[in-house]
Amino acid sequence: MSDLYVSWSEYNRKIEQLAVKVYQSGWDFNQIVCIAKGGLRVGDLLCRLYKKPLAIVAASSYTGPENRVRGEIRFAQHLTMTSEKLGSRVLLVDDLADSGVSLQECVKWLQQYYGQEIEEIRTGVLWCKACSILIPDYYVDYLPDNPWIHQPFERYEDLTLAELAAQHEGLASASEGDRV
């Protein structure tokens, strides 16, 4: 298993490519649900592009050193949304289908708690690994060698606030020097 390093510009381009794939499919959905935390950025950009409401389901399954140990998936008790009810045709998005368990279990969770409102759920991700038990309806890249994906926001997981403050202090000093 190799590692795949993704820059912010590549990450945003992948979200745009996912948006185009869904658009080209012609599917008329009326709700986006993203799985937090990995799918937050994907859901945010898609709801802006499609002008569709966004709902968020918080889920967690990774723990341990560098957040690389897959454990039992846990869901929040409620879906977060600003509309009174969930749409009937749901596009469920996440950043990747690694094991596929998060997507599979989230579909079950949505059907259990919102099944009376949902007619159809389709799934979309940026990356689909070969080891995934669920192949999403939409994905940008299929990864046959199952690499560990290093996403651009991961740096914040190991960065302390003291380190961040020190970085910004150096930036603030440089900015103040520009004004003198």
Per-residue pLDDT of 74-131, as tens digits, reads: 888 889 998 899 999 999 999 999 999 999 999 999 999 999 999 999 999 999 999 9
How large a percentage of the chain has pLDDT more than 90?
Answer: 70
Global model pTM greater than 0.85? yes
CATH number at residue 27: 3.40.50.2020
Given pLDDT bands bounded at 50, 70 and 90, which one contains residue 68? Answer: low
Per-residue confidence (pLDDT) for residue 129, from 0 to 100: 97
Q: What is the number of structural domains in the chain?
A: 1
Given pLDDT bands bounded at 50, 70 and 90, which one contains residue 133? Answer: very high
What is the Cα–Cα distance from 23 to 9, expressed in whole angstroms? 21
Q: What is the DSSP string of 88-116?
A: SEEEEE-SEESSSHHHHHHHHHHHHHHTT
Note down the domain range covering 77: 3-179
pLDDT (mean) for 56-63 = 80
Q: Is the pLDDT of residue 71 over 70?
A: no
Q: Please give the C-alpha separations between residue 105 and each of 100, 134, 141, 146, in angstroms, as whole numbers.
A: 9, 10, 22, 21
Which residue has 């202090």 as its token pair?
169
Indicate the average pLDDT of the chain. Answer: 90
